Amino acid sequence: MSMKRKYRFRAILFDLDGTLTDPFIGIARSVNYALHQLGHPPLSDPALRRWIGPPLHDSFAQLLGDPTLADQAVAHYRQRYWEIGLYENMVFPGIPELLADLKTHGIRLFVATSKIRPSTERILAHFGLQPFFEAIAAVDPDDRNGSKAMVIATLLPCLHTDRAWTVMVGDTVYDIIGARSHRMPCIAVTYGYGEYQELYHAAPLALADSVATLRSLLIAE
């Protein structure tokens, strides 16, 4: 069967947290570490789940009500996350096999994440995922915002004519909105950290409740 018949896309942009890996423990502990350093009470696990996806500085600023305190919190967070938190992570079962199959058949693979670049590269290398990806779009450490639309924009020159056959895969409405800002479809995975109703109402191209379902959407076998 030809690639054109078997594969629906020529290029795929993957979010990292909640899509390729489950980062909850590392992120949750690092957020609460940062809050502790500032004398703020810890957040519950349900509250912390909503921190996975949005830009980190935005979340701290909203909680603390002060951009300067948010800067300090981000610095504390990154200290712990860089040393410990990024290893408190796991790759979702089936992801390496899916990436390998896509790569073997000539599909161009990219990472588009609102995480900072050093952590992103270290995570992908640590879990053996980096060789699958042609390029990584992430956030510079001094960038407060790092919206998904901005991240995706940095990859557009790499896509050339394949842009018309490109899809974003992510687990939050930020992925859907970011992709839509560039007239790009998005497949939303519901096994990550986005709220199902929010994802549904954001009207992605499709919803995938598991890696197996995602595979069926990306590979027409």
142 is an active site residue? no
91/135 Cα distance (integer angstroms): 19
What does residue 62 show for φ and ψ, rounded to 5 degrees? -65, -40
- Beta strand 21-22 pairing with 90-91: antiparallel
Chain centroid to CA 164: 21
Contact yes or no for 109/12 (Cβ under 8 A) = yes
- Residue 156 host element (H or E): helix 156-159
Of 212, 221, 185, which is closest to residue 92 (Cα–Cα)? 212
Kindly report the number of other CB atoms within 10 A of residue 166's CB atom. 21
Set 15, 22, 171, 175: catalytic member: 15
Q: What are the catalytic residues?
A: 15
